[in-house]
Structure 1
Amino acid sequence: MTLGEAFAGSYLRRLITGRSGSVPSVLPPPSPEAQLLFLTKLQRLFAEGDFTATYKFALLITLADLSVELGADDGSELVLTNRQIGEHFIGLYWQHCLPYSSGHATSAPGVLVQNNGAQAAVVSAVSTFRANTAVASPQAAARLPGFRELVSAVTNTVSAQPLNYLQNFGGGTDEFLYERTGAGKIRLKPSVAYCLRRFYPLVQQLARSHWIDHIKQNSRNLNILGATDDLEDFLFSSSRQSLQVMAAGLRKLDEARCFYCGNMVTTADVDHYIPFSLYPRDLAHNFVLAHPSCNRSKSDTLAALPHLERWLARLHDKADALAEIGSAAGFQTDTLVTRQVGAWAYTSALSGGGKAWVTTNAYTPIDDTYTTCFA
């Protein structure tokens, strides 16, 4: 059984046949048959596509991320600029441009090769920029004069390569995801943004696992990797230093109290309010302080209505302070994007009949009240 088949069992059937939620529609969502066809073509893309570099995995993740952040729960098209996609690529590859060290005696630190030929052009461009500027995050880099040139170079590479070839598989071309419109834009076809939002965890998991496998199977990475088992964390997780900066700022902002139980914390975790397992991107406004016990109990579930209401109020009342802390830590800072991700997460949970965490061992069904909080 493949990863996609294992993940697509009862979870996907429940999503496909569940309610569409309470978000008003401009165009009707795709039918269950259309959603299954989308999944079939996505599976074929992974099985039959030619992946000489990791760009196509990055493009799929980017399209899914932007669909969550900018799309809606209907069948509408979504227009994206090549530059938006290029900027997203810089964020995805930023960490990858640092030397990876497995800590194994037989391996040597080095930048992982992400192309079957010469090093991927995006990795080379970002690596050169990082070496010349010594900035720690894409957010800090965006304030430098040379960042526009970096974005242009990455955008040109993305436009010439994965945007042209992602939809080539099985010996032909099937433009089921998007079409190029000229003027540096693409248009996600009707229902594609909906499906990318609907099946977001599956798209992420498939793209990331194939990305990791591609790096592991590249013979030029063997001397770097050794007997590693933490490659996924290196490629896709936050740095420990950034989380420490975020934690220090949150302690000052929230008076060292657990967001969930309200009690003072001595040892605190930095928790993703919208779980990282649902949306694996680090947004500054999504972080809260939590007791380790509250964090472990909540785990990968969404929080119940009282927590949600306080979280939304916090986004409004402390937006500037959270942005300042997040900027210092090197995280993306955008209140509107964070709200959009929250609305998507709760709407998806509503559609799937999900439950929300109240406190230890206590859960409650998610109903329409949750999604109306975002209206």
Structure 2
Amino acid sequence: MPQLPSPSAEEQLRFLSNIQRVFAEGDFTATYKYALLIAFADLAVELGGDDGRELALSTRQIGERFIQMYWRQALPYGKGLLDSSLGVLVQNNGVQAAVISAIAAFRATQCGGTYHFARNLPEFQILLAKVAQTVSAQPLNYLQNFGGTTNDFLYERVGPGKVRLKPGVAYCLRRFHPLVQQLARSHWIGHIKANPRNHIILGEADDLENFLFATSRQSLLMMADGLRKLDGPSCFYCAARLTAGDVDHFVPFSQYPRDLAHNFVLAHPSCNRSKSATLAARPHLERWLERLELRRDAIGEIGQFAGLVVDAQVSRQIAAWGYTSAKASGGSAWLAAARYEPVDEGYSACFAT
């Protein structure tokens, strides 16, 4: 497909204005529209490019992202906190959201609790078909309705089970990915908190965001244990010996808030804090890419065991997007404590091979 010019500054502002109007003027009876925006943004990063081309997607691709996002949310929430009781959070103003009910029913009949395990079961395709049908019938029909009218600024239907992000949309979703994610997640949390049927479940809880979107502590501990056995007891960044180590997102979670097994490395807590929300400098990137190539299968096995999403190519694509975005904005990369370097053309060359 031939490349198209990237959207102008005026077109990008119009895109952001329409996104803001979706949240301000749209009718959110369930959390599906938030999930759909997150799915679009993630898929644009992972499958799109840095020009204005359209991006074709299937409802099954979107449906699989819905299952990943709602997988943990279909479990009961509640930890014996003050004034709370155990229950599955209600994500619809009426009856429970159909996606939650379908996942909960599926989980009740399968052995093992991880998404990766479930994905390999024959019955998973039945679940995926149900979720894809719900996505097609509900959020895809209504997301672009706001302000009393329909504004088809994001996508169009192009056949049964298929949609296409319009020219420039994938580019904007890639460029403004952190903002779209933040808006969708904060409104999602607000929607659940505002539902009176959730008040007795939530009680005085203050960890709702972690429950909805973060990887479980058990999965992170399993990932850390596996990485220590695979890579040895040393910090990925400074190479010094580890006693206690953090599982660090190589591409920072604040930039791409999705937990992928191949994006994790073990690091000293001090290196992790120093790097914080910054991309790692070129020497670290080169070693990470080499490790990704040489140990992708082993890291994948660790991730599967920990119940994480495993896709080495997607992790590489996300990193390429992150460094391209940093270069375009004049960003810097972390080399060591208080040491940074500009992200220049040399970083692009790392992904050329």
Fold in common (TM above 0.5): yes
Q: Decide which of 306, 324, 327 is 1:350's aligned counterpart.
A: 327
Task: Please tell me whether residue 201 in structure 1 is matched to residue 178 in structure 2.
Answer: yes
Q: Say if 2:185 is the partner of 1:222.
A: no
Q: Counterpart of 1:160?
A: 137
Q: What's the CA shift for 1:102?
A: 5.0
Aligned to 2:149: 172
Q: Distance in 1 between matches of 2:131 and 2:265?
A: 33
Q: Distance in 2 between matches of 1:308 and 1:28?
A: 29
Match status 1:253 vs 2:230 = yes
CA contact (8 A) 2:30 2:91 kept: yes
Partner of 2:318: 341
User: Match of 2:110?
Assistant: 133
Tell me how far apart the structure 2 counterparts of residues 273 and 207 of structure 1 sit (CA, whole Å): 23
Q: C-alpha separation between the residues in 2 aligned to 1:192 and 1:226?
A: 40
In structure 2, the residue matched to 1:110 is 87
Deviation, 1:26, is 1.6
Distance in structure 2 (CA, Å) of the matches to 1:140 and 1:264:
34
Per-residue deviation, residues 306-326 of structure 1 (Å, max 9, x unmatched):
000000001101111111111
Q: In 2, Cα distance between the equivalents of 1:357 and 1:235? A: 30
Q: Tell whether the 8 Å contact from 1:167 to 1:176 is kept in structure 2 after alignment.
A: yes
Secondary structure at 2:163's aligned position in 1?
strand
1:94 counterpart SS class:
helix
| Mapping 1:45-64, distance limit 5 Å | 45-64=22-41
Counterpart check, 1:44 vs 2:21: yes
TM, length-normalised to structure 2: 0.98
Structure 1 counterpart of 2:242, from 265, 271, 295: 265
The 5 Å alignment of 1:1-375 reads: 26-375=3-352
In the alignment, the residues of structure 2 paired with residue 172 and residue 326 of structure 1 have an alpha-carbon distance, to the nearest angstrom, of 44
Count of residue pairs the alignment pairs up? 351
- State the 1:134 CA deviation: 3.8
Rounded to whole Å, the distance in 2 between the matches of 1:147 and 1:346 is 35
Q: Secondary structure at the match of 1:87?
A: helix
Alpha-carbon shift at residue 109 of structure 1 (Å): 1.4
Q: Contact between 2:58 and 2:161, CA under 8 Å: does it hold in 1?
A: yes
Superposition CA RMSD, Å: 0.9
| Divergent runs of 4+, >4 A | none
Q: Distance in 2 between matches of 1:255 and 1:60?
A: 39
Range with bigger deviation, 55-64 or 343-352? 343-352
The superposition leaves residues 183-216 of structure 1 with CA deviations (integer Å, 9 ceiling, x where unpaired) of: 3100000000000000000000000000000000
Output the CA distance in 2 between the equivalents of 1:139 and 1:26: 35
Query: Alignment identity in percent?
Result: 65
Give 1:145 deviation, angstroms.
1.4
Q: Is the 8 A contact 1:97 1:126 kept in 2?
A: yes
- In 2, the alpha carbon distance for the partners of 1:98 and 1:164 equals 27
- 2-side partners of 1:340 and 1:105: how far apart? 43
Q: Residues of 1 paired with 2:232 and 2:198: CA distance?
A: 46
**Matches of 1:373 and 1:346 in 2, distance apart?**
10
Moved more, 101-110 or 143-152: 101-110
- Structure 2 alignment gaps of length 5 or more: none
- Partners of 2:266 and 2:334 lie apart in 1 by 16
Mapped partners of 2:117, 2:236: distance in 1: 28
Q: By how many angstroms is 1:165 displaced?
A: 0.5
Matched residues in 2 for 1:327 and 1:359: separation? 31
- Alignment partners' CA distance in 1, 2:14 and 2:57: 23
Supply the distance in 1 between the matched residues of 2:30 and 2:112 (Cα, whole angstroms).
26
Find the aligned partners of 1:195 and 1:274 in 2 and give their Cα distance: 20
Equivalent position amino acid for 2:33 in 1:
K
Deviation by residue 1:28-74 (Cα, 9 ceiling, x = unmatched): 11000000000001101110000000000000000000000000010
| Cα distance between partner residues in 2 of 1:349 and 1:130 | 40
Any gaps of 5 or more consecutive residues in structure 1? 1-24
The Cα of 1:105 is off from its aligned counterpart by 2.4
Is this contact kept in 2: 1:102–1:226, CA < 8 A?
no
Task: Report if aligned partners of 2:82, 2:204 keep a CA contact under 8 Å in 1.
Answer: no
Distance in 2 (CA, whole Å) between partners of 1:137 and 1:78 is 30
Separation in 1, partners of 2:310, 2:250: 15
